[in-house]
């Protein structure tokens, strides 16, 4: 059985191969991301933000990472190919002050920019340094049960000029988005007399003798 942690602390249990496979399935939401439309704002190298969303068994690949450019902030705009019930997030950084210290989540705000991060987040996490993916941050599922777009704002790190992230794992359930066809009905604004033939009424006059 896989072991998940919602806060700091170690675990004396060692995961076996079956646990690893199960964990990989749980963190399979990266396959449901529209990677071509995924954006990372303030990344120092264009396109590097997409590389941190990958398979669970590739989480320890240190050759792929995203680093912030002008300051410590990063903003990910993550569109999904359907609707997602987001249950948990794992974030792997390095053992230094460049590790993210706070993560703020927003749902269903496409094309979010740094001008928008002043609004209240749907959920905020204070992060611990995690270099192996041992810590999971559970979401409030009631708030993240119907997510078509997720924004992750890394608002600060532990004191470095720039932030560095190797891996972000998303755990949850995916369902296909149902598109409801809209039926457009044209209603008559005013009646057209020619369309409504009416019988001509001839009044009958009755004489009483």
Domains in the chain, CATH or no CATH each: 33-175 (2.60.120.470)
pLDDT classification of 4: cutoffs 50, 70, 90: very low
From the CA atom positions of the chain, what is the Rg in Å? Answer: 28
Ranges of beta strands (E only) in 14-54 are 39-41
Residue 204 has pLDDT above 80, yes or no: no
Task: Give the residue-averaged pLDDT of 48-67.
Answer: 97
Q: Which H or E run contains 25? A: helix 17-26
Cα separation, 67 vs 44, whole angstroms: 6
| pLDDT tens, position by position, 98-156 | 999 999 999 999 999 999 999 999 999 999 999 999 999 999 999 999 999 999 999 99
Cα separation, 40 vs 69, whole angstroms: 11
Q: Helix, strand, or coil here: 125?
A: strand
| Ramachandran angles phi, psi of 48, nearest 5° | -70, -25
| pLDDT tens, position by position, 154-163 | 999 999 999 9
Q: Which H or E run contains 6? A: none
Name the token pair of 198. 């009416």
pLDDT at 190: 54
Q: Helix, strand, or coil here: 7?
A: coil
Cα separation, 21 vs 113, whole angstroms: 36
Residue 14 has pLDDT above 90, yes or no: no
């Amino acid at each position: 059985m896989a072991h998940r942690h919602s806060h700091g602390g170690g675990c004396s249990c060692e995961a076996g191969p079956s646990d690893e496979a199960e964990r990989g399935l749980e963190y399979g939401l990266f396959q449901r991301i529209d990677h071509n439309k995924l954006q990372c704002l303030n990344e120092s190298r264009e396109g590097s933000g997409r590389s941190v969303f990958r398979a669970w068994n590739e989480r320890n690949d240190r050759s792929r990472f995203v680093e912030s450019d002008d300051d410590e902030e990063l903003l990910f705009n993550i569109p999904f190919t359907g609707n997602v019930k987001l249950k948990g997030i794992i974030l792997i950084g390095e053992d230094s002050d460049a590790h993210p210290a706070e993560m703020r989540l927003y749902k269903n705000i496409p094309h979010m920019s740094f001008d928008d991060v002043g609004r209240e987040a749907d959920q905020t996490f204070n992060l611990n340094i995690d270099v192996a993916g041992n810590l999971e941050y559970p979401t409030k599922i009631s708030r993240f049960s119907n997510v078509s777009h997720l924004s992750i704002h890394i608002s600060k790190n532990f004191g470095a000029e720039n932030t560095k992230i190797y891996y972000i794992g998303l755990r949850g359930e995916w369902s296909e988005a149902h598109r409801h066809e809209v039926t457009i009905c044209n209603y008559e604004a005013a009646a057209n007399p020619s369309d409504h033939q009416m019988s001509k009424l001839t009044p009958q006059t009755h004489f009483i003798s």
